[in-house]
């Protein structure tokens, strides 16, 4: 059930990721082809299935449809399925929500290097709410995690700027780690940072193997790496707490 819900919500998340940075309305207006502006019908809007049947192209003009639609739908489906299989019960829904919000933030950071405060704030408030509902970790651990997550990355960014004279971290990264701390508590934050760093290193090495030169001033969507690391950490935390 959560997998199906994830695919459906993934369609909305993809729309948000594509439209929001461009200043387009996410909720108003019918879905349409970005190339020919033809309105999409119900048969064009079935998550994953429509893209597969149309081979990723508009049925009216044949233009390629942005692959982020099916990619995000598939990721959201996986997030829901993983929560249901690893945790189960009502808690799984809370975890899936955590993953879906992280997915939206990661996708925006990857494509636009943007972590919107409204979305990060929603993640933070949801973390506090789940703590009040009695879901592990305890509220005090979450509050410490929120403060420690924000303060640690803010201090690193400030130190880097003082030493190098330029920004080393985006302003949204400390806020995101603080929001993640409100979900996972303080004890899991070192693991999240380590996994994020290792994932980033793996991405850089993969690029170098393909012939892409790595530079010290390359912009890296570190917020996306934090989001990618945080969801497996939550699955481990809640699975261990059962």
**Is the predicted pLDDT of residue 216 greater than 60, yes or no?**
no
Mean pLDDT rounded to a whole number for the chain:
89
Higher pLDDT, 6 or 238: 6
**Is the predicted pLDDT of residue 241 greater than 60, yes or no?**
no
Q: Which has the closest alpha carbon to 192: 224, 222, 226?
A: 226
Residue-by-residue DSSP string for 204-239:
HHHHHHTTPPP-TT----HHHHHHHHHHHHHHHHHH
**Is the predicted pLDDT of residue 240 greater than 60, yes or no?**
no
Alpha carbon separation from 148 to 143, 174, 179, 188 (Å, rounded): 8, 10, 10, 11
- Quick check: helix, strand or coil at residue 39? strand
**Is the predicted pLDDT of residue 10 greater than 80, yes or no?**
yes
Task: Tell me the pLDDT tens digit for each residue of 19-67.
Answer: 999 888 777 766 777 777 777 777 777 889 888 888 888 877 878 889 9
**Is the predicted pLDDT of residue 90 greater than 80, yes or no?**
yes
């Amino acid at each position: 059930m959560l997998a199906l819900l994830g695919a459906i919500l993934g369609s909305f998340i993809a729309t948000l990721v594509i439209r929001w940075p461009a200043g387009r309305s996410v909720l108003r207006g019918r879905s349409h082809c970005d190339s020919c502006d033809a309105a999409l019908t119900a048969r064009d809007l079935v998550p994953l299935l429509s893209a597969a049947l149309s081979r990723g192209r508009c049925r009216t003009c044949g233009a390629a449809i942005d692959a982020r639609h099916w990619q995000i739908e598939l990721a959201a489906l996986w997030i829901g399925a993983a929560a249901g299989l690893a945790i189960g019960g009502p808690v799984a829904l809370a975890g899936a929500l955590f993953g879906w919000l992280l997915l939206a933030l990661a996708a925006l950071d990857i494509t636009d290097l943007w972590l919107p405060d409204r979305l990060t704030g929603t993640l933070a408030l949801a973390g506090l709410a789940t703590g009040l509902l009695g879901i592990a970790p305890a509220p005090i651990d979450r509050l410490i995690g929120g403060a420690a997550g924000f303060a640690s990355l803010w201090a690193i960014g400030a130190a880097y700027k003082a030493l190098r004279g330029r920004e080393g971290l985006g302003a949204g990264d400390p806020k995101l780690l603080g929001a993640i701390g409100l979900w996972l508590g303080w004890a899991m934050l070192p693991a999240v940072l380590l996994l994020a760093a290792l994932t980033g290193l793996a991405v850089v090495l993969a690029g170098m193997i393909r012939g892409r030169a790595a530079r010290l001033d390359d912009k890296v969507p570190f917020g996306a790496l934090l989001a990618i690391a945080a969801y497996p950490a939550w699955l481990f935390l809640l699975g261990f707490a059962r």
